[in-house]
């Protein structure tokens, strides 16, 4: 029988073929019931085969939660059905793609997915709605063009990212591409990277000031540097560790200001060993390297790494790769040429201004293919491969802004390139502008999504398409980044205008919202994170963007940047803009608020009694949560003013107010006294797991316990900032817990035909 | 071997309404899920309205994907299978795939939100293999595919002439037949009984 395995046997390297065969065997064994669910889940994750929304066989269709009756009840992980479609993540080290690889990706998207290749914020490619049975063949076809999906997900070293203009950039110290490549393949499958408690992300940047590499948000970040040692110029890297976004963003710490090129691989290995040995394993919420570095302190972490380095047995690869570095070069397919005439084509000129970058090498440019929401169709991908062959050869990269760049395009070819891209629907201007909205998958396909980040991004994309060119240049240059939840895959912390999905219980229903994070810094490798201001209903986000950018234009001082403006006017002023848009009309007056962008299903599973919600009695917990939000906001202000102790105390009071609200649902007599609230909360919500989120477990509750136990610790501005982030997440989790309890009560009420409202029921339970 | 080919697709092009916003189909497809309007296990709606000439608005099912598809800048209604399809021959499987497609087309014809705004041309269609292993774009596979396509078309339109164009200048594209029926049916209902098989 014909099979991809036989057809491609000559083209797949033996080791890759064996790995994929082993995975195919695991699939067979799993089907025979011989592999444990958890083990199989981690096995497939390490091959990039990820779960996708509704893969537990449950889906809320806007009326009720329905079971999806897949052909079998077999599972591919805990609570994950075999037949439910999943996502395949495909690692593209440093984003480097060849035309042949593009064609393979196009075919795979067409045959196994939905004819869309999605570029992610880690320069990966993702295919959605893939059946697990198809994954071994999919992997074989990738392997035949030199791509492995190994360790694309799971507790492993994820795709190594790098500046997409490395090697052609004006600002770089040197081309970091061959170093990123060497690091990616050195750590891939390395025995010392197999026992992490959590994922590990590496990035390379050619310089310190520009954004491209985003080293500040990585577990391991390397910035190219040159240094004269003994009269000789040496190449090396400034090495950072322990950065990361996620729910609580940490800025990376400097491990060493100059690590010679011969030392970067062994040092990365030593870091991996220390992380594997001392990193948290049981509590996933605190298992990233950033927590270990924070716990140990950078000096102790550095000491441990240096000690570990001394114990490593020699490996030839540590310096062996330097031959490849020296030999590394990219070959353009066209001779350099300048644009000789000024074009009359206004559309071309607009595109050229925003989407091309003049290379360091005279006569060449990098052209950015701006992909809406990171999506490109199979047909486009195939045609783009042809265009690339003609103009730039295999010099193609994906970017963390979810675009594709063609490098080494002769300037004289730009008009012809533009025409061909236009024919493919790939000549949208506005790369790197406010129009170039970045978004994670959110509720479209991600299991953890809370709000529809892609729906919002799609809506903004449509609205901005006709408007963005009329904007003042100060607005045009802003970045919008959206995550579907606090996990920050959309990198909202680094945006001028960042948003992440949350939900709110309002008027007796759940309403999709986005928390606003303003003034993050994309430049300087993601130099600083934005501040969280408050939440607006999803449907008001476009209005919020209009208002805040309008305010900026009206009130900025001279050429003040948006980031500086946000810092200057401060949270109190910014919060006012959020508050103006925070209210949600009753369902009867405007039901659109109760569904998310581009998803007409009613967002909540609770019973929205049409016409009754306006008169809803506000319960005690609503006041408590509101009070917690207020305290949290005051704590943020105190932090901004440098009153660290006050910020810390107020943040803790906010946590106590939120926790107290939940406790009083069961025991109304408990006052807001930490010594009573914390043990009661632990007993009633933590030990019983009532507070546990399906995915985050009890992580957010631990923020409360930690804060309670470490009340009088030394405070630095950075430490308080982290405490504030944790406070906010704890309050969010309290909202979510409250919503879950209400929905449960509602469901019980429905099943028993009881007419008492969920709120009354909860209150009755409390009174009883 | 073409005999093992199960991943097949059929697209009927639009007669009118190609300018109807793609996002207008999102609530329609959600309603179909809510009300179990199709035989397939309907899972979710995927919105690709932002991508030019792309798969448009999709209704993802376990057995296959439905879409208001704009590939090649030509809007039409598409269905392609993702798993085994009933039928001993490719011709029979094409009938099964067509039945699923037409069942959805019928719903669009009946649907208040779409019926006066768009219509499909059941005389212009594309039939393709979505499997480059069992149905590659080779002369041999094409030779085996042709009689199957014709057998299926004879069943769909037993008394009508048609033209088929198998040419495709891009060898990387899928095995494809572009069909033009001379006297096409106006309604999905006319064709549905001709595609129905006992196993459906
Ligand atoms: S940010 Fe949240 S919703 Fe978005 S991809 Fe990450 S986990 Fe999913």
Q: Dump pLDDT digits (tens) for A523-549.
A: 776 778 898 999 999 999 999 999 999
The pLDDT confidence band at residue B97, using thresholds 50, 70 and 90, is very high
How far away, in angstroms, is A522 Cα from ligand 1 center? 19
How far away, in angstroms, is A79 Cα from ligand 1 center? 19
Determine the distance in angstroms separating the CA of A91 from the nearest CA of chain B, rounded to an integer: 23
- Nearest partner of A725 among A500, A495, A484, judged by Cα: A500
Contacts of A370 in chain B (CB under 8 A): none
For residue B32, give the chain A residue with the closest CA: A61
Does pLDDT of A759 surpass 50? Answer: no
The pLDDT confidence band at residue A768, using thresholds 50, 70 and 90, is very low
Superfamily of domain A433-604: Sulfite Reductase Hemoprotein, domain 1 (3.30.413.10)
CATH number of A609-768: 1.20.120.330
- Residue A95: burial class (beta carbons within 10 Å; 0-12, 13-18, 19+): buried
Q: What is the pLDDT of residues B7-34, one digit of tens each?
A: 999 999 999 999 999 999 999 999 999 9
Residue B53 contacts A, CB cutoff 8 Å: yes
Please report the residues numbered 87 through 116 in chain A whose beta carbons come closer than 8 angstroms to any beta carbon of chain B. 103, 106-107, 110-111, 114-116
Mutate to test the interface with A, among B25, B43, B71 (most CBs of A within 10 A): B43
Give the mean pLDDT of A72-80: 92
Question: Looking at residue A505, what is its pLDDT?
Answer: 84
Q: Which of A482, A487, A492, A501 to mutate to test the pocket of ligand 1 (most atoms within 8 A of CB)?
A: A487
Rounded percentage of chain A residues whose pLDDT exceeds 70: 95
Report pTM.
0.87
Nearest to B48 among A2, A7, A375 (CB): A375
Residue B113 contacts A, CB cutoff 8 Å: no
Residue B70 contacts A, CB cutoff 8 Å: no
Residue A71 contacts B, CB cutoff 8 Å: yes
**Inter-chain contact A375–B174, Cβ cutoff 8 Å?**
no
Residue B171 contacts A, CB cutoff 8 Å: no
**Inter-chain contact B41–A63, Cβ cutoff 8 Å?**
no
Q: Distance between CA A425 and CA A419 in Å, rounded?
A: 10
What mean pLDDT is reported for chain A? 90
Does pLDDT of A612 surpass 60? Answer: no
Residue A129 contacts B, CB cutoff 8 Å: yes
Residue A86 contacts B, CB cutoff 8 Å: no
Mutate to test the interface with B, among A60, A66, A110, A384 (most CBs of B within 10 A): A110
Nearest protein Cα to ligand 1, atom 2? A485
CATH class name, domain A168-327: alpha beta
For residue B47, give the chain A residue with the closest CA: A598
**Inter-chain contact A425–B52, Cβ cutoff 8 Å?**
yes
Q: For the stretch A397-432, what's the b/e string if a residue is b when 16 or more beta carbons lie within 10 angstroms of its beta carbon?
A: bbbbbbbbbbbbbbbbbbbebbebbbebbbbbbbbb
**Inter-chain contact B60–A114, Cβ cutoff 8 Å?**
yes
B80 Cβ neighbours under 8 A, 6+ residues apart = B7, B8, B9, B10, B64, B65, B97, B128, B130
Residue A327 contacts B, CB cutoff 8 Å: no
Strands annotated E in B42-118: 42-47, 57-61, 64-69, 76-81
How far away, in angstroms, is A501 Cα from ligand 1 center? 9
How far away, in angstroms, is A483 Cα from ligand 1 center? 6
Contacts of B78 in chain A (CB under 8 A): none
Q: What is the pLDDT of residues A460-516, one digit of tens each?
A: 999 998 888 899 999 999 999 999 988 899 999 999 999 999 988 888 888 999 999
For residue A457, give the chain B residue with the closest CA: B50
**DSSP state string for A739-756:** HHHHHHHHHHHHHHT--S
Q: Which ligand 1 atom lies nearest to the CA of residue A441?
A: 5
Question: Looking at residue B25, what is its pLDDT?
Answer: 98
Does pLDDT of A240 surpass 80? Answer: yes
Q: What residues are paired with A537 via a beta bridge?
A: A513
**Inter-chain contact A382–B62, Cβ cutoff 8 Å?**
no
Match 């995915």 to its residue by tokens.
A695
Does pLDDT of A611 surpass 60? Answer: no
How open is the CA angle A701-A702-A707, to the nearest 5 degrees? 105
Nearest to A61 among B34, B47, B83 (CB): B34
- Nearest partner of B71 among A260, A431, A207, A378, judged by Cα: A378
Q: What is the predicted ipTM?
A: 0.97
Rounded percentage of chain A residues whose pLDDT exceeds 90: 72
Residues of CATH 3.30.70.3340 domain(s) within chain A? Answer: 346-423
Which letter does DSSP use for residue A200 in this model? Answer: B
Q: What is the pLDDT of residues A113-138, one digit of tens each?
A: 999 999 999 999 999 999 999 999 99
Nearest to A444 among B7, B46, B65 (CB): B46
**Inter-chain contact B23–A601, Cβ cutoff 8 Å?**
no
Q: Work out how many CB contacts closer than 8 A connect A with B.
A: 110
Contacts of A7 in chain B (CB under 8 A): 133
Q: Distance between CA B65 and CA B85 in Å, rounded?
A: 13
How far away, in angstroms, is A438 Cα from ligand 1 center? 12
- Nearest partner of A202 among A181, A227, A225, judged by Cα: A181
Q: Which ligand 1 atom lies nearest to the CA of residue A487?
A: 1
Residues of CATH 3.30.413.10 domain(s) within chain A? Answer: 168-327, 433-604
Strands annotated E in A99-246: 116-119, 125-130, 161-162, 202-205, 220-229, 232-241
Q: Distance between CA A604 and CA B158 in Å, rounded?
A: 50
Residues with CB under 6 A from ligand 1: A 440-442, 446, 448-449, 453, 483-485, 487-490
Residues of CATH 1.20.120.330 domain(s) within chain A? Answer: 609-768
Mutate to test the interface with B, among A598, A602, A605 (most CBs of B within 10 A): A598
Does pLDDT of A354 surpass 50? Answer: yes
Q: What is the pLDDT of residues A544-597, one digit of tens each?
A: 999 999 999 999 999 999 999 999 999 999 999 999 999 999 999 999 999 999
Please report the residues numbered 147 through 166 in chain B whose beta carbons come closer than 8 angstroms to any beta carbon of chain A. none
Contact B195, B96 (CB under 8 A): yes
Architecture label for domain A346-423: 2-Layer Sandwich (3.30)
The pLDDT confidence band at residue A754, using thresholds 50, 70 and 90, is low
Q: Which ligand 1 atom lies nearest to the CA of residue A500?
A: 1
Determine the distance in angstroms separating the CA of A274 from the nearest CA of chain B, rounded to an integer: 43
Contact A44, A135 (CB under 8 A): yes
| Weakest-pLDDT range from A33-42, A323-332, A493-502, B148-157 | A33-42
Helices A177-187 + A317-327 axis angle, to 10: 150
DSSP H or E stretch at residue A27: helix A14-31
DSSP H or E stretch at residue A400: none
Pick the CATH number of B2-195 from 3.30.310, 1.20.1300, 2.30.30, 3.30.70: 3.30.310
Contact B46, A377 (CB under 8 A): no
Q: Which ligand 1 atom lies nearest to the CA of residue A442?
A: 3
For residue B6, give the chain A residue with the closest CA: A111
Contact A602, A610 (CB under 8 A): no
How far away, in angstroms, is A488 Cα from ligand 1 center? 6
Contacts of A63 in chain B (CB under 8 A): 34
Q: What is the pLDDT of residues A683-740, one digit of tens each?
A: 999 999 999 987 788 899 999 999 999 876 788 888 899 999 999 999 999 988 988 8
Does pLDDT of A249 surpass 90? Answer: no
Question: Looking at residue A761, what is its pLDDT?
Answer: 41
Residue B33 contacts A, CB cutoff 8 Å: yes
Contact B58, B92 (CB under 8 A): no
SS3 state at A204: strand
- Nearest partner of A352 among A367, A370, A332, A371, judged by Cα: A367
Does pLDDT of B118 surpass 50? Answer: yes
Determine the distance in angstroms separating the CA of B27 from the nearest CA of chain A, rounded to an integer: 6
């Amino acid at each position: 029988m014909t099979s991809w395995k036989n057809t491609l046997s000559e083209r797949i390297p033996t080791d890759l073929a064996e790995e994929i065969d082993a995975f195919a065997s695991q699939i067979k064994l799993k089907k025979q019931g011989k592999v444990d669910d958890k083990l199989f889940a981690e096995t497939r994750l390490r091959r990039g085969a990820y779960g996708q929304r509704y893969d537990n066989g449950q889906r809320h269709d806007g009326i009720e939660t329905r079971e999806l009756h897949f052909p079998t009840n077999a599972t591919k992980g805990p609570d994950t059905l075999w037949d439910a479609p999943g996502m395949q993540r495909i690692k593209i080290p440093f984003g480097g793609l060849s035309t042949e690889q593009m064609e393979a990706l196009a075919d795979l998207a067409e045959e196994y997915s939905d004819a869309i290749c999605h570029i992610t914020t880690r320069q990966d490619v993702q295919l959605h709605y893939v059946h697990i049975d198809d994954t071994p063949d999919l992997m074989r076809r990738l392997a035949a063009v030199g791509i492995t999906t190994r360790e694309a997900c799971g507790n492993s070293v994820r795709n190594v990212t790098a500046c997409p203009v490395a090697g052609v950039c004006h600002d770089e110290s040197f081309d970091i591409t061959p170093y990123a490549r060497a690091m990616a393949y050195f750590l891939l499958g390395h025995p010392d990277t197999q026992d992490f408690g959590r994922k590990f992300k590496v990035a390379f940047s050619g310089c310190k000031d520009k954004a491209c590499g985003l080293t500040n948000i990585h577990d391991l970040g390397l910035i190219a540097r040159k240094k004269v040692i003994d009269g000789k110029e040496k190449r090396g890297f400034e090495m950072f560790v322990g950065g990361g976004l996620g729910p609580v963003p940490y800025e990376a710490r400097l491990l060493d200001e100059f690590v010679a090129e011969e030392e970067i691989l062994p040092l990365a290995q030593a870091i991996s060993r220390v992380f594997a040995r001392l990193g948290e394993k049981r509590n996933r919420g605190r298992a990233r390297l950033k927590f270990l570095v924070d716990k140990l302190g950078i000096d102790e972490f550095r000491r441990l790494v240096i000690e570990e380095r001394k114990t490593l047995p020699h490996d030839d690869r540590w310096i062996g790769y330097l031959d490849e570095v020296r030999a590394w070069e990219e070959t353009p397919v066209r001779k350099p040429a300048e644009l000789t005439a000024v074009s009359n084509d206004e559309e071309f000129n607009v595109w050229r201004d925003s989407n091309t970058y003049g290379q360091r090498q005279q006569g060449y440019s990098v052209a950015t293919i701006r992909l809406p929401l990171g999506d490109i169709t199979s047909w486009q991908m195939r045609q783009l491969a042809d265009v690339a062959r003609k103009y730039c050869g295999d010099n193609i990269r994906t970017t963390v802004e979810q675009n594709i760049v063609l490098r080494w395009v002769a300037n004289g070819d730009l008009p012809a390139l533009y025409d061909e891209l236009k024919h493919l629907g790939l000549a949208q201007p506005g790369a790197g502008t406010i129009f170039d909205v970045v978004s994670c998958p959110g509720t479209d396909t991600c299991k953890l999504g809370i709000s529809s980040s892609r729906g919002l991004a799609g809506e903004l994309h449509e609205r901005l398409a006709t408007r963005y060119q009329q904007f003042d240049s100060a607005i045009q240059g802003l970045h919008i980044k959206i995550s579907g939840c606090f996990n920050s895959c959309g990198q909202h912390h680094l945006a001028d205008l960042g948003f992440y999905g949350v939900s709110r219980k309002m008027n007796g229903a759940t309403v999709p919202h986005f928390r606003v994070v303003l003034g993050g810094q994309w430049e300087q490798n993601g130099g600083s994170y934005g501040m969280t201001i408050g939440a607006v209903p999803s449907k008001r986000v476009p209005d919020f963007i209009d208002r805040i950018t309008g305010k900026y234009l009206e009130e900025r001082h001279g050429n003040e940047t948006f980031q500086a403006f946000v810092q200057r006017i401060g949270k109190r002023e910014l919060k006012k803009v959020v508050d103006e848009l925070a209210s949600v009309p009753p369902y009867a007056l405007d039901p659109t608020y109760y569904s998310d962008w581009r998803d007409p299903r009613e967002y909540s599973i609770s019973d929205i009694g049409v016409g009754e919600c306006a008169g809803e009695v506000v319960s005690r917990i609503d006041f408590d949560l509101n009070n917690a939000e207020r305290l949290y906001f005051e704590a943020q202000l105190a932090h901004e003013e440098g009153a660290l102790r006050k910020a810390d105390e107020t943040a803790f009071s906010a946590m106590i107010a939120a926790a107290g609200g939940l406790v009083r649902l069961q025991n109304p007599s408990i006052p807001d006294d930490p010594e009573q609230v914390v043990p009661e909360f632990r007993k009633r919500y933590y030990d019983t797991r009532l507070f546990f989120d399906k995915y985050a477990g009890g992580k957010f509750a631990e923020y409360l316990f930690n804060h309670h136990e470490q009340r009088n610790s030394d405070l630095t501005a950075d430490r308080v900032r982290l405490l504030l982030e944790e406070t906010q997440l704890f309050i969010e989790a309290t909202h979510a817990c409250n919503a879950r309890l209400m929905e449960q009560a509602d469901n019980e009420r429905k099943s028993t035909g009881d007419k008492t409202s969920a709120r009354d029921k909860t209150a009755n339970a409390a009174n009883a | 071997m073409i005999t093992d080919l199960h991943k097949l697709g059929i697209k009927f092009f639009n007669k009118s309404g190609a300018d109807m916003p793609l996002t207008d189909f999102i609530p329609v497809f959600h309603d179909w899920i809510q009300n179990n309007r199709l035989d397939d296990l309907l899972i979710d709606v995927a919105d690709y309205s932002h991508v030019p000439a792309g798969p448009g608005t999709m209704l993802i099912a376990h057995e296959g994907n439905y879409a208001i598809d704009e590939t090649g800048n030509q809007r039409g209604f598409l269905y392609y299978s993702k798993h085994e399809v009933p039928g001993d021959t490719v011709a029979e499987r094409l009938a099964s795939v067509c039945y699923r497609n037409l069942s959805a087309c019928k719903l669009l014809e009946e649907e208040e939100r779409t019926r006066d705004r768009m219509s499909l041309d059941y005389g212009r269609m594309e039939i393709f293999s979505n499997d480059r292993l069992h149905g590659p774009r080779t002369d041999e596979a094409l030779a085996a595919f042709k009689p199957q396509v014709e057998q299926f078309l004879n069943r769909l339109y037993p008394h009508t002439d048609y033209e088929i164009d198998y040419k495709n200048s891009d060898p990387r594209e899928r095995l494809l037949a572009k069909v033009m029926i001379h006297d096409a049916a106006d309604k999905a209902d006319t064709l549905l009984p001709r595609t129905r098989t006992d196993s459906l």
